[in-house]
Each structure stands twice: as C-alpha cells, then as structure tokens.
Amino acid sequence: MAKTEGREALAQVVVANDGEVLARLRLSAAEAARVCRVTPRQLIYWTKKGLVRPSPDSEHDYDVFAMEKVIRIRQALDKGHSLERAAQIVQREMDQLAADVERLERLTPEEMENELRRRLERLEERVAALRRTLPASLGIARLRSAVALLARLEAQGQLHDPGADGDAAKILALRLGRAVDELEQVIRDMPPVPA
C-alpha cells in the first residue's frame, strides 16, 4: 500500500514540475543500459560511435533523452535494421519530434486546443478501425489454429485409431476437446454479421 502511494505521489511531482524531474534524471552507463535493455558494452560502443550522446552535464551519465534514443535504436535493431540504418531512422524520428515540439510551443492556447482535438479525433478513428478489424482477425487466427490442430491429428491417423493404449485415447480426447472448445469460443467471439 505504501509503495503504491509513493508511486502516485512521485507521479504527481513529475506532472506538477512539468517534467523537471525527468529532465534532471541521470543514470550511469550500467544503469541506463539495464533500463534500456542493452548491454553496457553496447551502450558504450554506440556512444563512442557518436550514435548516442551522454548527458551534457557528465560524460559518464545518460539522461532520459539519450535513453529514449537507445531504446528506439534497440527496437529498430530488433526489426532487423543494421546499426547504422537504425541510428539514421531514430535520428530522423527524434528530429521530427523536436520539430513538433518547437511548432507546438509557438501555438496559442486556442490553437493548441484545436491541435489536441484533431489528434484526439484521429486517435479515436484509429481505435474504432482497430475495434472493427481486430476481433475478426483474432477469431480467424484462432479458427485456423484449431483447424490446423484437427488436420494434424487427422494426418497422424489419431482421429480414427487412437491406439490400444488407454492413455493415448485420453490424450486424444483432451486435445479434441480443446480444439472443439476453441472453435466454439471463436464462434461466440465473432462479431455479428451486419444485416
């Protein structure tokens, strides 16, 4: 209970200080690497290559902006990009974010409200589109999985001849039962067909 209250209080401080706490946060290379889920060796290598810059206040500490860049580079690497390509992609993203921040800072309160309203409407449209397509695609994927299981069992000859072993018959019955349950759940979860 005390931990939860402490986290809530910290969140309020961060919000109340307009991110000043985050802006001042500095972690050592080892700590930053752990937070960003890379090795310290990777982080130091990327720093030496100039892909990531340590905090302006210290050559050995990393601020949240550097850590954000490290996380994005790692994510780009996970998608199969080379280190150089990942760094280029991330730098472009970071430059775009900086340009967006500068643009937003120049807006009047009324313009900012309109901008936020437009962004919210776009997000709501995307959520609605996902809600329309996601259940059907999940249902189809689950249906295909259940059908594939039945096809494997058929191909293995287990549907017709469970074997003389009683345990094999029990296992087969359980597997078939799970497949049938899965099919029934898919049918229940399918969105209604529009009339």
Task: Using alpha carbons, list the distances in angstroms from residue 13 to 9, 62, 67, 180.
Answer: 6, 21, 21, 52
The pLDDT tens digits for 140-156 are: 666 667 667 766 766 66
Q: Domain of 121?
A: 112-189
- SS3 of residue 28 by DSSP: strand
CATH of residue 16's domain is 1.10.1660.10
Based on the domain organization, do 133 and 150 belong to the same domain?
yes
pLDDT (average), residues 62-67: 89
pLDDT (average), residues 110-134: 81
Split at pLDDT 50, 70, 90, the class of 127 is confident
115 vs 51, more confident: 51
Query: 168 in a domain, yes or no?
Result: yes
Based on the domain organization, do 101 and 21 belong to the same domain?
yes
Among residues 33, 50, 38, 41, the alpha carbon closest in space to that of 88 is found at 50
Q: Are 163 and 169 in contact (CB under 8 A)?
A: yes
Based on the domain organization, do 22 and 69 belong to the same domain?
yes
User: What is the value of pTM for the model shown?
Assistant: 0.53
* Residues listed for the chain: 195
